């Protein structure tokens, strides 16, 4: 059961709130329609219920607000708009990623694919799906964690009649098993035909809360649909007979040869057409909206049908009405966010393309720098000219880190689950670990590739391993991993890939000069010998010897290394503050 109490969105400048003090209930075992015209506040109300938008009011799902439910994706399945995700990710890859996020067994992806009839399209990319297939995938995502409640925003929009009947059949089957279903729509006929209860919004306010039968009686009225090559003449005769008999009959001329007659019957219209010798191609009773005012002709352009799916997809005999329930729900463990992050990172080609670009660019820059001369060997191996703020490998690492966040903010199935949103520090740790490893691999390969290219073009003078390879390697690894982590933290704080990449570039461009300026003055006291005293006060020399702590200290002492450490500390503090603020709210 859903209880929405006092839902109110924030005011928009001089305009009234999109939703103003809306309260209603949705009972289990029934299908409820949230009805309203475009701009009535349906989507805003759903987002307020799911805590995806700030506002006032509260919504209880079986007696608990969403933020008090440990794993909301097991309680609420959500479909809002198109299915978000990287267009290069496959249908099956998207569902497997969400399985890891929701803590569902991986076999669940194949079960829901079979239930929605997408088995034959499991290797298709999200960017190639038609509207109908996107709707089916969205329903599969909503059913993935076997939720008790389904909340869907206009799920049948853009679907052909056959797909619409199938979708509402799935919703009806879910309700028949004791689930709760709430879907928003702007079509009164769809609400009356497919719902048990109808909640009507108008300009952000609740105007009706009715059983479907009462709604059909008060909002809809019977009408007669007529098609005739002489529709204009027939309409004139019907109106004339109604005026003569003083009956309330409304004749609406539709597009083409169609008439819609309110306040009459098929028998009366048929008798009139027969008496006057008018050919009739269609004569049927319908239930329609209240219709326009009398005397107003309306034209209804026929909607363009959605692309037809393959025949095997629509074969109802191959798909069960609902996927089987999940028999075992494994308790979330420390590997759950790691599995999710691995599937998210490896499911698209961004990482592979970035690594290839890093290798090619690094090799070309290294060879060109060696040809020009005046560049020390460490910078040749890193392909880092003095004119660039960062080498190609560090820029690629920053891009990978900045792209680590995105799905968590766009996908409602993830945004509603407090176990997978970036507020959970376990997910942040998994992102830092996976992104650091993925960024470090092409960086090390780039150094090896540069070394081989220098040896190939210029011989052993430049193509030899430096004697101080350990501190240089530690500096290189620290720079690359630091750039990746800076991108992760900045993208998580600002919820933008561009902001994450900007934070990476800001380290050498802004932070390094600032640190050098602060430390470049003439202080009264200096911290000379800090590194040696730090080694004396710690157990690092006893555990690792003198060589490794000295290499780490030299990395931090470099301008870029110190600026990177300072930036990471600031970003981590900002992330933690954002996390605490989100949990308090």
Q: Give the pLDDT confidence score for residue 198 in this predicted structure.
A: 95
pLDDT band at 195 (very low <50, low <70, confident <90, very high): very high
Question: At 60, which helix (H) or strand (E)?
Answer: strand 55-61
Structure-model confidence comparison of residues 373 and 3, the more confident one: 3
Question: At 392, which helix (H) or strand (E)?
Answer: helix 392-402
Helices 469-494 & 559-584, crossing angle to 10 degrees? 30
Question: What percentage of residues in the chain have a pLDDT greater than 70?
Answer: 79
Residues 89 and 193 in one domain: yes
Residues 401 and 497 in one domain: yes
CB–CB of 524/436 below 8 Å?
no
Locus of tokens 């630091």: 482
36-68 pLDDT per residue, tens: 999 899 999 999 999 888 899 999 999 999 888
Reduced to 3 states (helix: H, G, I; strand: E, B; else coil), residue 524 is coil
The widest CA-to-CA distance across the chain, in whole angstroms, is 112
Residues 95 and 240 in one domain: no
DSSP E strands in 118-204: the ranges are 149-153, 180-185, 197-202
- How large is the average pLDDT for residues 338-360? 91
- How large is the average pLDDT for residues 161-179? 92
**pTM for the full predicted model:** 0.74
pLDDT band at 539 (very low <50, low <70, confident <90, very high): very low
Residues 24 and 171 in one domain: yes
Give the lowest-confidence range in 28-37, 209-218, 272-281.
209-218
182-193 pLDDT per residue, tens: 999 999 889 988
What is the C-alpha to C-alpha distance for residues 560 and 568, in angstroms, rounded to an integer?
12
Residues 205 and 224 in one domain: no
Q: Is 354 left (phi over 0), alpha (psi -120 to 50) or beta?
A: alpha
Q: Give the pLDDT confidence score for residue 561 in this predicted structure.
A: 62
Distances (CA, A) of 397 to 358, 422, 560: 9, 20, 15
Dihedral of alpha carbons 60, 74, 72, 135, sign: negative
Q: Give the pLDDT confidence score for residue 68 in this predicted structure.
A: 86
Phi–psi pair at 149, nearest 5 degrees: -120, 140
Reduced to 3 states (helix: H, G, I; strand: E, B; else coil), residue 208 is strand
Residues 415 and 559 in one domain: yes
Number of structural domains found in the chain: 3
What the block records as the tokens of 488 is 């992760």
- How large is the average pLDDT for residues 345-362? 92
Which of 261, 285, 318 represents a domain boundary (last residue)? Answer: 318
Q: Give the pLDDT confidence score for residue 563 in this predicted structure.
A: 65
- pLDDT greater than 60 at residue 557: no
Q: Give the pLDDT confidence score for residue 585 in this predicted structure.
A: 47
What is the C-alpha to C-alpha distance for residues 73 and 148, in angstroms, rounded to an integer?
9
Q: Give the pLDDT confidence score for residue 422 in this predicted structure.
A: 44
CA 38 to centroid of chain Cα atoms: 22
What is the C-alpha to C-alpha distance for residues 215 and 197, in angstroms, rounded to an integer?
8
377-427 pLDDT per residue, tens: 888 899 989 888 889 999 999 999 998 886 666 666 555 554 444 446 778
432-467 pLDDT per residue, tens: 999 999 999 999 999 999 999 998 988 877 878 888
In a domain, 450, yes or no: yes
DSSP 412-446: HHHHT-TTTSTTSHHHHHHHHHHHHHHHHHHHHHH
Q: Give the pLDDT confidence score for residue 291 in this predicted structure.
A: 42
In a domain, 390, yes or no: yes
Residues 464 and 486 in one domain: yes
pLDDT band at 474 (very low <50, low <70, confident <90, very high): confident
Give the domain extent around 348. Answer: 335-521+528-584
Q: Give the pLDDT confidence score for residue 324 in this predicted structure.
A: 76
């Amino acid at each position: 059961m859903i209880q929405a109490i006092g839902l109110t969105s924030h005011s928009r400048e001089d305009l009234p709130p999109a939703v103003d003090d809306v309260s209603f209930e949705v009972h289990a075992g029934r299908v409820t329609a949230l009805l309203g015209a475009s701009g009535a506040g349906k989507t805003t109300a759903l987002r307020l219920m799911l805590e995806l938008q700030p506002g006032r009011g509260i919504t209880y799902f079986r007696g608990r607000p969403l933020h008090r439910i440990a794993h909301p994706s097991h309680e609420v399945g959500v479909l809002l708009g198109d299915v978000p995700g990287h267009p290069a990710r496959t249908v099956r890859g998207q569902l497997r990623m969400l399985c890891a996020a929701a803590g569902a067994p991986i076999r669940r992806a194949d079960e829901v694919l079979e239930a929605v009839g997408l088995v034959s399209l499991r290797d298709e990319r999200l960017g190639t799906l038609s509207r109908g297939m996107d709707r089916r995938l969205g329903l599969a995502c909503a059913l993935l964690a076997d939720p008790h409640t389904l909340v869907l925003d206009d799920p049948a929009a853009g679907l052909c009649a056959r797909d619409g009947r199938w979708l509402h059949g799935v919703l009806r089957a879910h309700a028949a098993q004791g689930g709760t279903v709430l879907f928003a729509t702007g079509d009164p006929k769809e609400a009356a035909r497919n719902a048990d209860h109808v909640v009507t919004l108008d300009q952000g306010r609740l105007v009706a809360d009715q059983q479907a039968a009462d709604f059909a009686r008060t909002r809809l009225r019977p009408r007669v649909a007529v098609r005739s090559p002489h529709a204009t003449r027939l309409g004139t005769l019907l109106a004339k007979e109604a005026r003569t008999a003083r009956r309330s009959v409304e004749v609406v001329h539709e597009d083409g040869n169609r008439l819609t007659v309110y306040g009459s019957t098929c028998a009366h219209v048929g008798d009139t057409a027969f008496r006057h010798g008018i050919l009739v191609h269609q004569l049927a009773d319908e239930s329609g909206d209240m219709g326009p005012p009398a005397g107003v002709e309306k034209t209804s352009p026929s909607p363009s049908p959605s692309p037809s799916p393959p025949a095997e997809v629509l074969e109802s005999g191959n798909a069960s009405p609902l996927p089987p329930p999940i028999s075992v729900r494994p308790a979330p463990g420390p590997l759950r966010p790691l599995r999710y992050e691995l599937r998210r990172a490896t499911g698209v080609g961004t990482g592979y393309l970035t690594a290839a670009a890093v290798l090619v660019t690094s090799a070309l820059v290294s060879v060109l720098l060696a040809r020009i001369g005046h560049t020390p060997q460490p910078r040749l191996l890193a392909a880092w000219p003095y004119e660039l703020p960062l080498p190609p490998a560090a820029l690629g690492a920053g891009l990978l880190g900045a792209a680590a966040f995105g799905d968590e903010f766009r996908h409602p199935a993830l945004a509603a689950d407090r176990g997978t949103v970036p507020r959970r520090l376990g997910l942040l740790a998994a992102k830092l670990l996976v992104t650091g490893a993925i960024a470090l691999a092409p960086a090390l390969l780039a150094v090896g590739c540069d070394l081989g290219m220098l040896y190939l073009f210029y011989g052993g003078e430049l193509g030899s391993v430096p004697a101080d390879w350990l501190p240089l390697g530690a500096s290189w690894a620290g720079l690359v991993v630091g750039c990746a982590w800076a991108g992760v933290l900045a993208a998580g704080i600002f919820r933008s890939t561009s902001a994450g990449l900007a934070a990476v570039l800001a380290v050498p461009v802004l932070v390094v000069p600032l640190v050098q300026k602060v430390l470049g003055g003439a202080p009264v006291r200096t911290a000379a010998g800090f590194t040696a005293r730090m080694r004396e006060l710690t157990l690092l020399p006893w555990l690792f010897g003198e060589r490794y702590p000295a290499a780490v200290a030299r990395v931090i002492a470099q301008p870029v290394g110190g600026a990177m450490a300072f930036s990471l500390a600031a970003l981590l503090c900002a992330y933690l503050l954002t996390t605490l603020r989100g949990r308090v709210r």
